[in-house]
Amino acid sequence: MPRLVPHVVDLGGGVKRQVRLPDFYDNTGSTISTAVGIERATDADRTLEFVTIDQLVRTGRAAYVSIRYGTGTAAKSSKVLCSRDKLDTVAGTILGLKYKGVDIQSAGFSRRRSRG
């Protein structure tokens, strides 16, 4: 399991919250942090309130975006968390950016939503 590090989710209107996520958003060759509205927390952000991923998704403040990265037989898929403010533009802006050091080929939203 990847190591979880503090990240800051921009919820819009100047509201930000901390959440622990794998370091795939702003490190290890990934450049998607600005497109999804999630950045690695700095020392100044350490005072923000912590929330869980589940709390963000259930309240509608964030959603998962399905991405496909790589080409040919090496293509893989994953789901990344995206803040609500970036949902309307993420599918277009995330294309061509890198996830785990590999270019993202497609992005979209799940048709079915799980009820938890």
Q: Residue 100: give the domain boundaries.
A: 4-108
- Does 48 fall in a domain? yes
Question: What whole-number distance in Å separates Cα of residue 51 and Cα of residue 32?
Answer: 21
Inter-residue contact 6 to 41 (CB < 8 Å): yes
User: Do residues 83 and 36 lie in contact, with contact meaning Cβ atoms separated by under 8 Å?
Assistant: yes
> How many separate helices (H) and strands (E) can be counted in the chain?
3, 7
> Over its length of 116 residues, how does the chain's per-residue pLDDT go in tens digits?
678 889 999 888 888 999 999 888 776 667 888 889 998 888 888 899 999 999 999 998 999 999 999 888 889 999 999 998 898 899 889 998 988 888 999 999 876 665 55
Q: What residues form DSSP beta bridges with 83?
A: 62
Q: What is the pTM of this model?
A: 0.84
Instruction: Measure the CA angle with vertex 32, ends 31 and 34; round to 5°.
Output: 105
Would you state the structure tokens that stand for residue 28, as one six-digit string?
């290890």
Q: Look at residue 116 and tell me if it is in a domain.
A: no
Is the residue at 114 inside a domain?
no
Give CA 19 to chain center in angstroms.
Answer: 11
Domain count for the chain = 1
